[in-house]
Amino acid sequence: MTLHQIDWLIIAGYIAATLALGFWIAKRASASLRSYFLGGNEIPWYLLGVSNASGMFDISGTMWLVYLLFIYGLKSIWIPWLWPVFNQIFLMVFLSVWLRRSGVMTGAEWIKFRFGDGRGAHLAHIIVVVFAIVNVIGFLAYGFVGVGKFAGTFLPWHLSADPAMNTNLWGLVITAITTVYVVKGGMYSVVFTEVLQAALKTVACIWVGIIAMQRVTPEMLAAVTPAGWNSPWFGKTLDLDWSRILPAANTSIAKDGWSMFSAFFVMMLFKGMLQSAAGPAPNYDMQRVLSTKSPRDAARMSGLVSLVLMVPRYMLIAGLAVLALAFFSPQLNAMGSSVDFELILPFAMKNFIPTGLLGLLIAALLAAFMATYSATVNAAPAYIVNDIYKRYIDPNADQRTLVRMSYATSIIVVIIGTGIGFFVGSVSAIVAWILSALYAGYAAANLLKWYWWRFNAYGYFWGMLGGIAGSGLVPELLPSVTPIFAFPIILAISLAGCIIGSLATAPDDEAVLMNFYDKVRPWGFWSPIHDKLALVRPGLEANHDFWRDMFNVAIGIVWQTAQVALGIYLVIRDWNAVTICAGLIIVTSAVLKFTWYDKLRDYPSDVAARVDAPVAASAAA
């Protein structure tokens, strides 16, 4: 494919602007470890929210979502619950506030805050660092595969005669460029470049959606899709029959293992609720929460994530899927059983996007890759440098040494993730393993740490170890089982480790538990700790917000899902559905204003009184 000179200028201008911005703010990032990883807790919540939303809009995920909409139609609006996308709602409603109250720098540092500094806590600390590194490397491999497929389709120079190697080499070039500005600029670089990228992506997304609306009528779409494609509702089975139009699509559905869609939906909801209630995995999402100025800002930042790019992103996804359905189905049929549906996105762009917009869209999707990749890379050294090197090897290391160690660590994890990406050919395969296997091993231990006082450091260690081991072994031992249906097995292994490990050992230090409860103030099974702390802290407030929080979670999930559906229905021009979605968004937004936003507070009133007391005394003096 030959790109027009205008497209090349747009792409080159974007890359140059990104690198220049990263280097320009690098000096601020290198001031200290907290500046490098958390931006010194000085970055406004709304910039962090836009940055986080931009970081979640990645090229590999977008390729996957275009494939899902193409094959599953409007029923695909539920499938991202695998992630689960509604984890942002749990964070928005209560978990971001709880997490930010800790005041720590990383997820592994949070473990010390929750479990103390004994032998069990050291084991728990080590195991969460191991999980974080495995998680980061998995996402780096996932990003590498996606960007390689994308670049190999659009960029005209063939770096290798072998198509697979050409894809990998392009992935290597683009990851190298991204690594340069991330390593140099840390969190400052990540956030400010992602805000630039978010603006670029929003314009490109809406533009592509409008092109699809102009070129594909509802009648054209109906002729190339099976009955029920434009409905989000389903029965016991998926009830989409592609045999007349695109037989390979039926094969793909069977391969995914989601034909019994009602069972898949229930399992996805069960998994999503548990995983979301466990809080964020130790990755870039957690780093954004910890980077905010206050707990209230952390909640607002998480709420903004769902609002910023959801509708524009799904206009892009729907636009590319609809264009491919209307004009590319014959070519896909011609590929027969060897069709690669993950190439729908680059094929649709190459054939249907005009000069100028094509360069903008390529730059936007490169931005999408860079945003996610940079955020993931930035998360890795926080664990290796802060939680291993500084804690166990050189506690007295100066800030300059620690920042330089962070540079080196970032480069090492990129090399490892890229190496794994060379041997994995499918984005879907990595997504399935991360979401259904690896995160199954994470859910139980990280759920219990918030809500049960008796859950201790040994329980956390054995639960996480069992989960990580299970995520590697169960898919190998049961290769015919769809990953989502292996989730309960891995969860059960992890949960057994959690409970046996906790009850077979003594509770954690009471002073540590009281300090954790006092600062975070979670709801759940904390009565023994609350009662003991109340003896020395009269007026101690218990958290009675469980039912309100669960109500807001339910309303928030409807609010978020309606935004997803709205972006798609706009593109396919189903105006009745657009009206319903818009109405749902308005009503749920109004409800959340009164039941969530107006109720946000940094700390319980008894804590706020203690914090404000010295200020009041000083003012009186």
Query: Which residues form the domain of 98?
Result: 5-237+294-425+543-620
pLDDT at 187 over 80: no
pLDDT tens string 402-438: 777 777 777 777 777 666 666 655 555 555 555 555 6
Structure tokens at 84: 């689960």
Length of the chain: 621
CA angle 411, 413, 418 (to 5 degrees): 95
Question: Does 496 map to a domain?
Answer: no
Taking a C-beta distance cutoff of 8 angstroms, is the pair 529, 454 a contact?
no
Contacts of 548 (CB under 8 A, 6+ apart): 595, 599
Question: Does 98 map to a domain?
Answer: yes
Question: Does 193 map to a domain?
Answer: yes
Mean pLDDT score of the chain: 80
CA distance 561 to 563: 5
According to DSSP, residue 235 is labeled -
Question: Does 477 map to a domain?
Answer: no
Q: Express the helix, strand and coil content of the chain in percent, nearest 5 each.
A: 80, 0, 20
pTM of the entire predicted model: 0.82
Residue 364's nearest CA partner among 569, 246, 506, 209 is 209
Q: What's the Rg (C-alpha) of the chain? A: 24
Question: Does 188 map to a domain?
Answer: yes
Which of the two residues, 416 and 454, has the higher pLDDT score?
A: 454
The percent of residues in the chain predicted with pLDDT above 70, rounded, is: 74
Buried b (16+ CB within 10 A) or exposed e, 158-193: ebeeeeeebbbbbbbebbeebbbbbbbbbbbbbbbb
CATH number at residue 112: 1.20.1730
Question: Does 525 map to a domain?
Answer: no
Mean pLDDT over 503-518 rounds to: 94
Residue 196, CA distances (Å) to 63, 202, 287, 547 in order: 22, 10, 19, 39
Mean pLDDT over 612-619 rounds to: 37
The domain total for the chain is 1
pLDDT bin (cut points 50, 70, 90) of residue 33 is very low
Please report the pLDDT score of residue 72 as a whole number. Answer: 95
Residue 402's nearest CA partner among 182, 186, 113 is 186
